[in-house]
Amino acid sequence: MTGTVHFDPISGGFSGTIGVNEVLVKGPYAITVHVDQYLSNPIPGNPIIIPGQTNEIFPVDLVAGDINNDGKVNIRDYSVFLDCYNSFRAATNCDAAKKAATDLNDDGLVNDLDNSLLLREIRKQKHE
């Protein structure tokens, strides 16, 4: 299932609507949230879904920084990030899609704030 989610910079959270085309029966479902450039995260507790009505689920935290959408936040993401970030000169290898992916705090800029956020998230990850 897919849907649309929107980031609210004021609350720092996402909200959205997921349409269900499949026939579901009332019951608990394992739900995982995935948003591009974030690590996937399961909704805790397998919420009960009731067909035919709006079902609100508990919020879940998402980890920013999966710039290349490989399910990890690591040095490969930082390599892509560096294409759009340079504190000394203008970035030369940064198209619009890459800029959107590397603007981790959604302020329209790829700057020191995004760099700090990405480095923090990389440090928090367990690396293989």
Supply the mean pLDDT for the chain. Answer: 87
pTM equals 0.78
Q: Which long-range contacts (CB under 8 A, 24 or more apart) does 3-11 make?
A: 5/33, 5/35, 7/106, 9/105, 9/106, 9/107
Predicted pLDDT of residue 57: 83
In this prediction, residue 128 carries a pLDDT of 52
Is residue 37's pLDDT more than 80?
yes
| 66-124 CATH pick, 1.10.10, 1.10.1330, 2.60.40, 1.20.120 | 1.10.1330
State yes or no: pLDDT of 71 exceeds 90: yes
